[in-house]
Structure 1
Amino acid sequence: MDVQTFQIVISVIVGTLIPALGTFIVLVINSLKKYKLAIITAKKGNEELVAKIEKLNEENEKLTEENAVLQDKIKKLQAQVDELNKKLIEE
């Protein structure tokens, strides 16, 4: 292989590989940007879900307390009904 042929081969290789490598690098960078954006979006979504879960937990605690109060009232009313039934039976 003479010098001129070698120079042609090198110029063809450089002429095709460098643009291809540049394109590959651009594609990798764009993919990383999209991946980063997806991570940021997912993180924001997770934060919103955590906030919603915390709010639901607070509401659940309030409802549990209200339920306990209502259950106590039901027991008292049931005791009154039982007492009235006893009086009716005795009469």
Structure 2
Amino acid sequence: MNPVKKQIPVLIHRGKPVCESLIIVQYIDEVWNQKSPLLPSDPYQRARARFWADFVDQKIYSLGKQVWLSTGEAQEAAKKELLDTFKLLEES
């Protein structure tokens, strides 16, 4: 249902696709106007959340794909980079 990348994540709401993690989070916050929003109300904290969501979209998904589709030394290098990236996320 992602018209450009043909990949997940995709939220289907009322039969229409909403694509990309951060856009989905923002959409949920806007549509359901929750008492406990997914994104922080503080502009700086919201910017940080958006940064890390974009980082995951750009880095984690591509590394996961490399791990899944490669073999041998290329796969091992992708695994190491993915683990290093997870450690970076945990430290932030």
Same fold (TM over 0.5): no
Greater share of strand: 2
TM-score by length of 2: 0.28
Q: Compare CA radii of gyration and give the structure with the larger one.
A: 1
- Larger relative contact order (Cα-Cα within 8 Å, sequence gap ≥ 6): 2
